[in-house]
Amino acid sequence: MTIKELSKRPRVAELLRAKQDEMEAALSANRRVMPHEGEKGAATELRWREMLSRYLPRRYSVASGFVIDHLDGVSEQIDVIIHDAQFSPFLFQAGTSCFVPAESVYAVFDVKQEISKARLAETGKKVASVRRLKRTSGKIYDYKGNLPKDGKDPESQPILGGILAITCHWKRDPFGRHFKNALTALPAVPIEDDHRLDLGVALSAGAFEVVSSPGDLIIYDQSTALVGFFMALIRKLQPLGTALAMDLDIWSERLRDEQ
């Protein structure tokens, strides 16, 4: 391949920006065409799940539904659940509802048409309903099927939370002072009441990534919103490594309790 031919090849950022344009157009069309708010929301959620499923590494699966634990705890309904299917393979399906074990969850996202103070609070509440669930941690075996290793400490395996939207309520300065105040106002402690958000995107406005505290942000403008969001998501997923392995002995106790 010649240098001239190579120079005509699209760059990664250009490919992702093209995907951003495509998705923003599709989501905007949903808003114009769908006559009912419920239909509009469902179509938007589906678009986000399809995109994440397509572009995330294969080790991650994407679903919607509820997150559950072995003590019968159930989260609020979650629009986008990024989960692992290697060590926690059980996905319970009941009608149109999907139930994902808490151990397998890497991240959860709420899908909104707009980012605003009220929508951030609603999203934080949903994220907290997942984080407060009790997770087990079974032993992990190496590739030879022996040498069991102690499972991870669930407290050391955070669950990411975020928001996916099209627009932002604050038009002039989407992720400025008012946004930071709303983000900082979300309860962050104790862990059972952890509403904090780690990242998010509003396609027509930009994206944000929390670095160390709600006021410490990396901001991506509208031209790089989707690119920035994906880079932030992957950057936060990578240190998590492999999800917790379900302790099947503990989960099986629920079967014996029913006998």
pLDDT digits (tens, 9 = 90+) for 16-48: 778 778 777 766 665 555 554 555 557 778 888
In a domain, residue 211? The reply is: yes
Above 80 in pLDDT, residue 83? Answer: yes
Above 50 in pLDDT, residue 1? Answer: no
Q: In the chain, how many domains are there? A: 1
Q: What is the dihedral of CA 20, 64, 157, 241, to 10 degrees?
A: -60
Range of the structural domain that residue 9 is part of: 3-134+158-258
Closest of 124, 224, 143 to residue 184, by C-alpha:
124
Contact predicate 253/72, CB 8 Å: no
- What pTM was estimated for this model as a whole? 0.86
Coil/strand/helix, residue 257: helix
In a domain, residue 176? The reply is: yes
From CA 188, how far away is CA 238, in angstroms rounded? 23
In a domain, residue 149? The reply is: no
In a domain, residue 87? The reply is: yes
Contacts of 30 (CB under 8 A, 6+ apart): 40, 43, 44, 47
CA angle 182, 187, 192 (to 5 degrees): 150
Q: Record the tokens describing residue 62, joined without a space.
A: 């994407």
